Structures are given as structure tokens and as C-alpha cells.
Structure 1
């Protein structure tokens, strides 16, 4: 599959809930921009509904949720449910933060994309998103 895209990959980076730590999300947003992606950052204290509505309005290829609050087993399933309700099944839902490995496996089993722990390479994250989009949304490019 060709890596020559007709437009940049569009990624929504989101912080859901009361988690007020956004340094990691900002680092990822900057790294994805540096990798040639168009990034929309929601800012802090978003609801799952706000994230999915923004993803729909911005016509994104991927949603990346940064979560440090421990609410990942509530947030990701809720976002997935709302994405299905809004017809966003062809949009990648991925994320990372302080998430135990066994929870990452469970979320992936539910259909969430690859999860990234603190210290993950920003190049690996960008490559994963680009690869997923090329595989699953190539018809849009």
C-alpha cells in the first residue's frame, strides 16, 4: 500500500474526565504534527460525548485518548459505544497513559486499537496511527 496520502491524517487528541494532567497529550499532539498529521487537541475535561461529537465534526481518521485518572475501563467503552452510535466504526480509537497491561489487553479485545504506556516512542505511535489509517481508510486518500 502506498504511503503517498492526498491529505494529512487527521487525529483528535483528547483528555476525558477530571484528569488535569495534559503534558503527555501535548507531547503526543506535537509529535503527531511533526510527523505530518493534522491534530485537533480538545483540551482538558472533555466528556465522551464531546470527544465523539468533535471527531464527527472534524472528520478525523483517529481518536487518541490520554488518560491518567484510572477511569480507562469506563471511558474507552463509552467512547466506543458513542462512536458506533454516530457511525464512526471506521475511525481508530487508540490511547495511552497510566493503564495496567491487563486492562490494555482487555480494551484491545473490545476493539480499541493499540494502547501506549508512558515512555512509548512517539515515532512508534505516529507509525501505528499512519499504518492503521492506510490499512483501514485508504479509500479516503
Structure 2
């Protein structure tokens, strides 16, 4: 496990036309309170906008909040763009209303753990911290 000498940087994004951003704002605040540096992109982002912002900000993790049901379109597109840009050491995680079968399919594609509404923010912060310490080189 690597020791990191700077705060973990996470990009929190809402993709598509899903206008429900309360959960994303709660997560962004909770991750900041856990000592992470948070970049919140706001609403109506495209997968390309998210990946480009993640590259520009040199983030360790991308967190997607999705409640619209478009998770089987959004996550595969973001994973594809991340692979094209060789972002193999950046975590793609997220949460929202995602059926378990879909979660399993997304895990097989390379998406990190996905969180259902009501998950303790400490659990999410611990997952991101542990993943970054194991997979990022500083």
C-alpha cells in the first residue's frame, strides 16, 4: 500500500438529463469532510466532459451519481473513454438506483464498487481511500 502525501482528488459528476443532484452534493460534501479534494462538475455533463475534466484535474477517482436509469449507457461509455485515454489507474465508482444484475455487469466491465442510496458516506470514503492507496502511484 502506498502512502499519499496529498489529499485524494475525486471528481463528482451528474451525467445526462438527470436533474436530481442532492445526492451528488451530499457525497461531494462528505468526501470533502473526509479530507478529499472534490471537483463537482454540476448537472448535465456528457461522458466526454467528465473524462476530460478528470484528466485536466488529475483526479484519483471519478464518482458518478445516476438516478435516471441510464447507468448501462453512461458507465460503459465513461469506462471506454477512460481506457482510450489510458486512465487505468483512476477509479470509476458511483451510486444511485442500479439493479444488482446491472451492477454485476458493470463490475465485469471494470467499474468499481457502486453504492445504493442510503449507504453510509464513511463506507464510500473508506472504499475510495483504500482503492487509491492500492492502485495509484505517487
Category of TM-score, reference length = shorter chain: over 0.9
Corresponding position of 1:76 = 75
Alignment TM-score, normalising by the size of structure 1: 0.95
Which one is further off, 33-42 or 101-110? 101-110
Q: 4+ runs of 1 displaced by more than 3 Å?
A: none
Whole-angstrom CA distance in 1 between matches of 2:78 and 2:116:
19
For structure 2, the residue ranges without an aligned partner over 5 or more in a row are none
Whole-angstrom CA distance in 1 between matches of 2:30 and 2:4:
18
Corresponding position of 2:39 = 40
Whole-angstrom CA distance in 1 between matches of 2:68 and 2:53:
22
Superposition RMSD on alpha carbons, in Å? 0.9
Equivalences for residues 1-141 of structure 1 within 5 A? 1=1, 4-137=3-136, 139-140=137-138
Alignment TM-score, normalising by the size of structure 2: 0.98
For structure 1, the residue ranges without an aligned partner over 5 or more in a row are none
Shift of 1:109: 1.3
Whole-angstrom CA distance in 2 between matches of 1:5 and 1:92:
16
